[in-house]
Structure 1
Amino acid sequence: MERPPSCIGPTGQPSWVDDADAVRELARWIVAVDRERPIVVLTVRPGGRDPYFAPSAVQRLVGRDGDVVAIEQSPKGRLTRELARALPDGLMVFGGAARIYWPPALVGVDPDAHPLVRANSDDSSSAEKRARLSNRWRQGPDETRRPTAVADAAPAGVGEEVQVAIVRAWLELFDDVDVRDRFPLQPYRVDQDLAEQLAALEPARAPVAAAAARILSGYAWTEPAPVPERVEVDGAPVLRPGDRAVAWRYPLVGSDQVLHYWQPASGPAVLARIGARDRTGGALAPREAVDPTSTPATPAAHEVEPADAPRRPSPRAPRLEIADEDLVRVLRAAGKPLLAPELRAALGIDSETPRERFSKILGDAAARGVIERTGQRRGTRYSAT
């Protein structure tokens, strides 16, 4: 088991965090897969000097079964903002609130699994809010909860471990929280096939998590190599029947295997399975995605070539053309501004298409008022007008 960071004091005594480095240490420990003790994090209300929930009283409630950490007051809430930036989306705590972070091995990192007790959100009395925190602690973790990013059919325990491993890989990939802001983890699911593979192949979990962190954050598209490769049959992209999500694959570091995944125009990506580098697109399809009655215009995901079929030469990349309505549709479906790599993936653009060509299309669309550029300081994002 990994040792707790220096910001966690002796058992049975509340700890105080008063600088950004300690906050980042705390964030890493909150999502650590081998953390076994729950943590209660306390914050200060705007304009206050002490945590809304008294650390000594909360420590008496927790006893020696968990750790209590109070984040000190800072100008403009700088420390709680730093914590929010260092944690996955939805796991922050600020404004006087308290949050119970149960061990990730029990409940994953789904924000709903880690109770948040607010200080300013309603008119209930201080006594009622303290009682609410006490009740949440005494209820304990809901170990039957499954993180929303994991398929319900995943083998028990494996789904949570995969999700936590992906979060840790993402945190390790971006030590700089400013860069982390530019590459947030996007929603995803873990298919039953992949979960079953990782249940049997534990050594594969780390490289799969590392690949998933790059794919889901969009960071893979900023690297010179490798980049995700669209899966094709006879030169046409493989689409999933039903929602016509595009099939992609990404190599696993130090292995001759790839991670297959589906990327729909809207909705979460699906991490599908591990396969060989030369596997054809048909081997990608998750069981529940195959619809034998579908007749898509491009080859169906379940129509595969024989494994020993000769490889056809890749055709020259066609001239890239993107209709304005497709740009607007994808951006509106996302419900938020997208980075260029995220928009590229959502549109299913071939990895061989030069980045400059896609950037020119976005620039022309912005100049014509079809889309808008935002967030110049921390990475340009695009939204529909």
Structure 2
Amino acid sequence: MDPLLLNVIKKNDSKQLASEFLSGYKTLVSEVGGILSQVSLKRILKGFEKGQPKDVADEIQRALQSAENARQNVAVIGQSGSGKSSFINVLRGIGHEGAGSASVGVVPTTRKKTPYPHPKYPNVTFWDLPGTGTPESLPNPYQEVVGDDNYDYFIIISSSRFSSNDAFLAQKIQEKGKKFYFVRTKVDSDLYNESKSKPRSFNKETVLQQIRDNCLINLSKIVSEPTVFLVSNFKSKEFDFPKLQETLLQDLPAEKRYTALLLLPNLSESFIQLKRATIKEKLWLTAFRAAILAFIPLTPFCCGFELSEHERDLKQYQSHFGLDEESVSQIAQNLGTSEQEIYSLMKSTDFNSLVKDDSIIANVKKCAEFVFSVTGLLPSSVFQFYKVYFLHLKFIDTVAEDAKRVLAKIEEMRSGRMK
């Protein structure tokens, strides 16, 4: 039994219950923040202090539903040819030639603002706005678009020296009180060109700093503390792409952070751990709510979990970590290997081995659960928590470890090709 939850269940002091919950929850929050807003936390603590566990359970449920259903609209803007469409494809985890990808080419491809929902999480939409600097461009193409209140934030894409177009966009967004992030793309091309033109004096870090400084100096005329992210749309693990994604997560409202975290590609083990922590946080809150409801007689008995539901949830965790069937197929195709080789690295594919427990203790627990679900109170809470929490925690840990092994395989095969 999770000691934090058990302490909450055992104690009758309302203030102590609130303190235990807050303390337990804080240990689960990842470095980029939790998925409960401050408003929700206050309501939960107030429910404890008033001795109204049903209100606590209802607020947890409301907050979780809000996190799962939160909509997010991201506007990607910039001069034509800056790599906006490629950038959107990376954020959506889609290849530039994949079905549903944003059009990419050497000539202007985006002529009107186009929505691109995330393929797995359709509540998150990336808007590709038409670029400036082409014959078809209007004098002030973003004058009206920048004021669109539907966008949560803007990402300004630039692929060359800071231009008047970049300054115009930043200024207009700033005037509207909107949040924006300045992203300088194609830095890999800049490094390549510099290395070829100045082979003896070339220094990678010096070139990157020069690019960053050029953008910062100009942005500082518009915003007080500018930040610039240097990225490559074809080398997303390098440069500032991971830093950009972590910054976006930290800046998002808590209720929108959960889905945004699930969008994270498996760029590194640290990203996998971030995702694991967030999914575990949601699981803990779900189990906590189940334990509270278990104090109400008959409620747990009416809300049991079937094996089919567990199996569905396991597949959902695999999807969250980019290991669903479609993703595995895409990984195998990108690496030029078989799907079977990828599946051989995964232990979460054997559902029966994860849920199988024919021991005498397990059978006793099943009987006890049936009895206590009728009477409610502490014993029932304990069994409900065990039922909801530990099996799913095992799922999450197993899938997360699978994701790390697959990531290691991807890096191994790619590094082998480069030799």
The structure with higher relative contact order (CA 8 Å, sep 6+) is: 2
Q: Which structure shows the bigger proportion of residues in helix conformation? A: 2
User: TM-score, with normalisation over the residues of structure 2?
Assistant: 0.21
**Structure (1 or 2) with the larger CA radius of gyration:** 2
Q: Which structure shows the bigger proportion of residues in strand conformation? A: 1
